[in-house]
Amino acid sequence: MSLLEFCQWLAATPASIALRESHYLYLAILATHVLTLGVFLGTALIVDLRLLGLMMRSVPVSEFLSRLLPWTVGGFVVMAASGSLMFFATPVDKYPNLFFRAKLLLLVFAGITVWLFNRTVRLRIDEWDRDPVPPAAVRATGGLSLVFWIGILVAGRMIPYQQYWF
């Protein structure tokens, strides 16, 4: 079974058809996806700006990670769930969409950045927790994650405009 065949099979399931044709439910999921951006990217932006040493330099980074990051994670869960539902409703449209593919690729990059942060610099956070401007490796993960998340936003927003670009 190819990926396209899988998408076609998914699109033919009763639940996918129901969601695709339930005009208002689909739009409600889309609205949830877009508005949760304010929570997810909003708080991620603040955490990343602190990792870059550009904001609230007197506050230890660990405080952002323990007190603000849970909101980022919560926002991400809502976005991932609503995003998956939208893919589930229209898999055959999304599959060939280059912006959708770019978004998935960037999601992998963002995931790797978060994983790297957790597996490397975060393990030694005691050494730089109170640095007004954290070490270069920390700033790199903060900056990269910001670039990837904004890239994901741009790619996501462009999904409906694929036919105008290509």
Partner 1 sequence: MSLLEVFHALESLPLLVAMRGSPWIFPVIATLHLIGLAIIGGAVLVVDLRLLGLGLTRQPVAQLARSAEPLLLTGIAVMLLTGPWLFMCFATKYYYLTPFWIKLASLVLVLVFTFTVRRRFLLGSAAAHRQRVPLAVTSMSLWLCVAVGGRLIGFP
| Positions that interact with partner 1 (CB under 8 A) | 27, 30-31, 34-35, 37-46, 49, 55-56, 59, 63-64, 67-68, 71, 150, 153-154, 157-158, 161, 164-165
C-alpha 104/C-alpha 159 separation (Å) is 12
Residue type, 30: L
CB of 46 to partner 1, least distance (A): 5
Nearer to partner 1 among residue 119 and residue 165 (C-beta):
165
CB neighbours of residue 96 within 10 Å: 12
Q: Closest distance between partner 1 and the C-beta of residue 83, in Å?
A: 15
53: left (phi over 0), alpha (psi -120 to 50) or beta: left
Pick the closer one to partner 1 by CB: 136 or 165. Answer: 165
Min dist CB 111 to partner 1, Å, is: 19
Q: How far apart, in whole angstroms, are the C-alpha atoms of residue 26 and residue 21?
A: 8
152 vs 117: CA distance, rounded Å: 19
Q: Which is nearer to partner 1, 15 or 27 (CB)?
A: 27
